[in-house]
Amino acid sequence: MYRSLADAIRDAEARGVTLHEVALDAESADSGRPVDDIRASLRRALEVMRGAVAQGLRGDLRSASGLVGGDAAKLREGPPGPLAGTPFRDVLARALAVQEVNAAMGVIVAAPTAGGAGVLPAVLTGLADARGIGDDALVDALATAGLIGAVVADRASLSGAEGGCQAETGAAAGMAAGAATEMLGGTPRQAGHAVALAQQGTLGLVCDPLGGLVELPCVFRNATGAAIALAAIEMALAGIEFAIPADEVIDTMGEIGRGMDVRYRETAGGGLAATPTGRRLARERLVQIKRGE
């Protein structure tokens, strides 16, 4: 697999193909699996993603702590706000839905991690449904997303414990932005700018789960990450180019993560987890979990 988005974009342009094609070819060469087998695996992942979206949108799930559940349905069905009836609001609801399933110990696709798993399915399925885009194109988009995620993993990290939430939700936003930009007709170069535009907007994002549970603020950060991805897609497709290449943005994310205080890297020792309310909620909910309430 590629260690640089710039190399993947260069090869795609030289061959006159898309990023998903170079991604599938590279994965096939690395793994020895036929492209059709890889696409079949991606199609199965897509079905799990869809199932998580549908389950979360029902609104009947609750996490063991009681802190998470029902908000995706509220956003989907609640009173109209300024984004009512738009794909934007639908994508936000889908991101919450997947994370509510995760918090309730349901089945999700870690894309790239469980903590950031709502962004990619929300953006891709939400935009595909809004535009009438078929499953083959969605599978292609997942291949592109996988390429982007692999580069982030190699150059920086996908772990909140190593790099904060910028390495989870932030990476997911970059994956979603690049993949959806191509799915909507963008060029490989535009997809690269979408990655950079998304990930620059999440640099420094801390991982501060209340009580160490992947619930708050994790669930809502997925909706925020999806919103950032949508902004990046809109800018990239309009022809806006980010001055810093995507690879350098990813490198910067890795550098920031390595320098981040340990309190802000999934330890629940800082950030929102360390607020008076955050500590109180963690104590109360963890006691309830131990009692089996």
SS3 assignment for the chain: CCCCHHHHHHHHHHHCCCHHHHHHHHHHHHHCCCHHHHHHHHHHHHHHHHHHHHHHHCCCCCCCCCCCCCHHHHHHHCCCCCCCCCHHHHHHHHHHHHHHHHHCCCCCCCCCCCCCCCHHHHHHHHHHHHHCCCHHHHHHHHHHHHHHHHHHHHHCCCCHHHHCHHHCHHHHHHHHHHHHHHHCCCCHHHHHHHHHHHHHCCCCCCECCHHHCCCCCHHHHHHHHHHHHHHHHHHHHCCCCCCCCHHHHHHHHHHHHHHCCHHHECCCCCHHHHCHHHHHHHHHHHHHHHHCC
The pLDDT, as a whole number, for residue 94 is 98
The pLDDT, as a whole number, for residue 125 is 98
pLDDT digits (tens, 9 = 90+) for 142-157: 999 999 999 999 999 9
Distance CA 169, CA 102 (A): 14
pLDDT averaged over the chain?
A: 96
Going from the C-alpha of 41 to that of each of 21, 45, 138, 224, 283, the distances in angstroms are 16, 6, 13, 28, 41
Task: Work out the number of other CB atoms within 10 angstroms of the CB of residue 183.
Answer: 25
pLDDT digits (tens, 9 = 90+) for 183-198: 999 999 999 999 999 9
CB neighbour list of residue 3: distance below 8 Å, 6 or more residues apart: 151, 154, 155
pLDDT digits (tens, 9 = 90+) for 52-85: 999 999 999 999 888 999 999 999 998 889 999 9
At 116, list the tokens.
């950031």
The pLDDT, as a whole number, for residue 78 is 85
The pLDDT, as a whole number, for residue 144 is 98
The pLDDT, as a whole number, for residue 1 is 83
Q: What is the pTM of this model?
A: 0.97
Tallying the residues shown for the chain, one arrives at 293
Going from the C-alpha of 101 to that of each of 45, 93, 98, the distances in angstroms are 15, 12, 5
Distance CA 180, CA 160 (A): 24
pLDDT higher than 80, residue 289: no
Q: What is the CATH number of the domain that holds 180?
A: 1.10.4100
Rounded to the nearest 5°, which phi and psi values hold at 207? Answer: -110, 110
At 257, list the tokens.
């993560």
What is the count of structural domains for the chain?
Answer: 1
pLDDT higher than 80, residue 286: no
pLDDT higher than 90, residue 290: no
Q: How confident is the model at residue 265 (pLDDT cuts 50, 70, 90)?
A: very high
The pLDDT, as a whole number, for residue 131 is 98
The pLDDT, as a whole number, for residue 284 is 87
End-to-end CA distance of the chain: 47
pLDDT higher than 60, residue 293: no
Share of the chain above pLDDT 90, in %: 93
Share of the chain above pLDDT 70, in %: 97
Distance CA 111, CA 191 (A): 18
The pLDDT, as a whole number, for residue 151 is 98
CA angle 256, 26, 41 (to 5 degrees): 90
Nearest residue to 158 via CA among 147, 177, 179, 172? 172
Q: Is 185 exposed, middle or buried (0-12, 13-18, 19+ CB in 10 A)?
A: exposed
pLDDT (mean) for 7-16: 98
pLDDT digits (tens, 9 = 90+) for 224-249: 999 999 999 999 999 999 999 999 99
Range of 193's domain? Answer: 5-291
Q: How confident is the model at residue 292 (pLDDT cuts 50, 70, 90)?
A: low
The pLDDT, as a whole number, for residue 80 is 87
pLDDT digits (tens, 9 = 90+) for 92-134: 999 999 999 999 999 999 999 999 999 999 999 999 999 999 9
